[in-house]
Amino acid sequence: MKLSIEQAKQLIENKIRRTGYNIIYKNDAVSGMVSTITYNCYIPIIKSRTSLYTACHELYHCLRARTVDVYINEMRAEKFAHKYMRHLGFVVPRKHTKRSKWYVRNKLRKAKRRGLKKVDSEVQNFLNWGIIILSRWINV
């Protein structure tokens, strides 16, 4: 697939709506949110790879109910966003891969503060592997 940003925007928004979530636009391109109580999905207006990446991440949350710890769920959303961006024909900027790890590492830190003893091995791999290996691995 090789879509324009506008085509990708339509596709992602349709997918989100089909899950039953309402889309609410927000100004910040790098963050979004999904409320499973109000069924609102907050995403930036998609007009760049950055905002598209954020929307892909939130799409994951709309598609999958959380059944694991937050730090694991967020890693899965980040992996999905990488995979889905590439599926749509977009290069994931290296800074997103870096931010991705930083984000999951932060969530892991919080989980540890709350008493987490054993770190999920997939998350461990996600955080330890090099960026090149990581991006190759996500394509599998």
From the list 43-51, 74-82, 94-102, 125-133, the region that binds Zn ion by CB under 5 A is: 74-82
Three-state DSSP state, 64: coil
Residues of span 80-109 touching Zn ion by CB under 5 A? none
Identify the CA nearest to 17 among candidates 26, 5, 9: 9
From the list 40-48, 73-81, 93-101, 128-136, the region that binds Zn ion by CB under 5 A is: 73-81
From the list 11-19, 21-29, 44-52, 67-75, the region that binds Zn ion by CB under 5 A is: 67-75
CB 110 within 8 A of CB 71: yes
Which residue has the CB atom at the shortest distance from Zn ion?
Answer: 77
Among 52, 56, 77, 108, binds Zn ion (CB under 5 A): 77
Three-state DSSP state, 72: helix
Rank residues 4 and 36 by Cβ distance to Zn ion and give the closer one: 36
Identify the CA nearest to 55 among candidates 86, 87, 77: 77
Under rule CB under 5 A, how many of the chain's residues touch Zn ion? 2
The backbone torsions φ and ψ at residue 4, rounded to the nearest 5 degrees and listed phi first, read -80, 165
Positions that interact with Zn ion (CB under 5 A): 74, 77
